């Protein structure tokens, strides 16, 4: 390569070919070829059969039917006994001819059109009320036009909590876009929306879109934010509880949404107004949201929400009660009257008891146990029916004899 460049430089300076050949100790033919060539010399090995050649046709037949078949499986199927690394390199060369092409279009997002939704699981367990630690989901929502990010940790990935989480995040904006995009999350729907999700979308006058399989580009905006959280939010942080995690995340999002986004050349907070102008205002409240049940209260005066049991005032035993829970509070009502209110627990299989309910149950139990005990009258032993004496002396008062 260096001789080729030197030959061409000397020739361009007017040095005769014979002088160049003498100076470099090469033949004049080599000098003539270097001057006439359009590129540097390179070694090209003549193509010919290799140890892979007898197997290539069979490998191509298998790849035509299963393009992603691993090289180790292919080697077993065709009877390859040589170097697996050499075989894998040749398989990768021919695999490209059989792998289906899946082009990715560049998507553009109009103001007010889309919010992409996803669940992110932070790579760190959070301390719960029972002293255990668990990996909890974070519901992430990104407005595709402005790239404005919203996120909140939720107790579970069940339908009730997912809808409560979406309502909480949308309430921070005050508006709802025309479409909410999900990637077949079971609590929202797979192929078809769950009934609560469909009711939620209809009430907000929006549309929940479930993406088809193998379509990551349509939700790429929010998925890139998940990676951003792990590299920019998580390092060096410690969390005492889910509430502490949400407080730190909310504070950090205020800073993150004020940063310049490379793809839009703008800050999310600056584009948010234009995004909201094309959205629909949220209703003041959604009464059907959350965990809801209508049950008869048993003698043990506890109701279950998710996997946890919460005490209820025992005066409601035997009656139908309405149980409602959101992300923070569990409330129980009987005939419109509040008979229990507890902070919602995020740990599993807990029993949550109000001491006032236990005390009231003790009073009711003692009253029930003594309900048949009546105090005797102080003169009761001095009063007797006169007929008792007649019978004692054998007198028949009914026949009229004395």
Tell me, yes or no, whether 269 and 355 share the same domain. no
Q: Flag whether 32 is in a domain.
A: yes
Nearest to 155 by CA among 354, 329, 342: 329
Q: Which of 253, 281, 309 is the last residue of a domain?
A: 281
- Are residues 24 and 87 both part of a single domain? no
Q: Are residues 299 and 233 in the same domain?
A: no
In a domain, 102, yes or no: no
Q: Considering the domain boundaries, does residue 380 fall inside one?
A: no
Number of folded domains that form the chain: 4
Give me the pLDDT at residue 402, please: 43
In a domain, 390, yes or no: no
- Indicate whether 178 and 126 sit together in one domain: yes
Task: Tell me, yes or no, whether 297 and 354 share the same domain.
Answer: yes
What is the pLDDT, as a whole number, of residue 396?
56
Q: What is the per-residue pLDDT for 280?
A: 94
Predicted pLDDT of residue 324: 96
pLDDT at 395: 55
Angle between helices 17-24 and 28-36 (to 10 degrees): 120
What is the predicted pLDDT for the residue at 401? 44
Say if residue 210 is in the same domain as residue 345. Answer: no
Phi-psi bin for 265: left (phi > 0), alpha (psi -120 to 50), beta? left
> 298 and 209 share a domain?
no
pLDDT per residue rounded down to tens, the chain (402 residues): 567 788 888 888 888 888 888 888 888 888 888 888 877 777 666 667 888 999 999 999 999 889 999 999 999 999 999 999 999 999 999 998 888 776 555 678 899 999 999 999 999 999 999 999 999 999 999 999 999 999 999 999 999 999 999 999 999 999 999 999 998 899 999 889 999 999 999 999 999 999 887 666 677 888 888 889 999 999 999 999 999 999 999 999 999 999 999 888 999 999 999 999 999 999 988 878 999 999 999 999 999 999 999 999 999 999 999 999 999 999 999 999 999 999 999 999 999 999 999 999 999 999 888 876 655 555 555 455 656 555 555 555 555 444
**386 located within any domain:** no
> In terms of domains, do 213 and 339 share one?
no
Residues 268 and 157 in one domain: yes
- CA-CA-CA-CA dihedral for 52, 55, 57, 63, to nearest 10: -90
Q: Residue 66's domain spans which residues? A: 53-95
pTM of the model: 0.70
Q: Rounded to the nearest 5 degrees, what angle is found at the Cα of 167, between the Cα atoms of 164 and 172? A: 130
- 148, part of any domain: yes
pLDDT for res 263 = 87
Task: Give the N- to C-terminal CA distance of the chain in Å, as an integer.
Answer: 153
Same domain, 267 and 127: yes
Whether residues 119 and 229 fall in one domain: yes
In a domain, residue 383? The reply is: no
Is there a single domain that holds both residue 129 and residue 196? yes
Q: Please report the pLDDT score of residue 37 as a whole number.
A: 80
**Does residue 123 form part of some domain?**
yes
């Amino acid at each position: 390569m260096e001789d080729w460049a030197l030959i061409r430089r000397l020739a361009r300076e007017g040095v005769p070919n014979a002088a160049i050949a003498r100076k470099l100790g090469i033949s004049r033919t080599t000098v003539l070829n270097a001057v006439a060539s359009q590129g540097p010399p390179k070694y090209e090995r003549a193509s010919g059969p290799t140890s892979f050649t007898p197997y290539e046709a069979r490998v191509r037949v298998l790849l035509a039917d299963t393009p992603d078949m691993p090289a180790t499986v292919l080697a077993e199927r065709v009877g390859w006994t040589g170097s697996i690394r050499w075989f894998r390199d040749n398989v990768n060369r021919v695999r490209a001819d059989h792998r289906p092409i899946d082009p990715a279009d560049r998507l553009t997002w109009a103001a007010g059109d889309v919010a992409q939704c996803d669940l992110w699981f932070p790579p760190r367990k959070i301390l719960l009320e029972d002293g255990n630690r668990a990996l909890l989901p974070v519901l992430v929502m990104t407005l595709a036009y402005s790239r404005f990010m919203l996120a909140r940790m939720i107790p579970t990935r069940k339908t009730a909590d997912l809808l409560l989480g979406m309502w909480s995040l949308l309430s921070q904006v005050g508006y709802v876009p025309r479409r909410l995009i999900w990637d077949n999350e079971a609590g929202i729907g797979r192929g078809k929306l769950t009934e609560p999700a469909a009711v939620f979308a209809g009430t907000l006058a929006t549309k929940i879109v479930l993406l088809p399989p193998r379509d990551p580009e349509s939700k790429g905006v929010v998925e890139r934010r998940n990676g951003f959280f792990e590299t920019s939010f998580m390092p060096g942080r410690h969390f005492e509880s889910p509430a502490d995690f949400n407080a730190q995340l909310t504070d950090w999002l205020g800073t993150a949404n004020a940063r310049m986004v490379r793809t839009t050349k703008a800050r999310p907070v600056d584009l948010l107004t234009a995004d909201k102008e094309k959205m629909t205002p949220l209703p003041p409240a959604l009464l059907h949201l959350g965990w809801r049940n209508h049950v008869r209260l048993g003698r043990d005066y506890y109701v279950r929400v998710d996997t946890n049991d919460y005490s209820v005032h025992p005066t409601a035993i035997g009656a139908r009660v309405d149980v409602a829970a959101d992300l923070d509070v569990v409330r129980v009502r009987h005939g419109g009257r509040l008979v229990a209110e507890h902070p919602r627990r995020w740990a599993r299989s807990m029993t949550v008891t109000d001491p006032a309910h236990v005390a009231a149950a003790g009073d009711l139990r003692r009253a029930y146990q003594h309900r048949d005990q009546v105090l005797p009258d102080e003169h009761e032993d001095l009063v007797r029916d006169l007929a008792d004496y007649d019978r004692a002396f054998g007198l028949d008062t009914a026949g009229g004899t004395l």
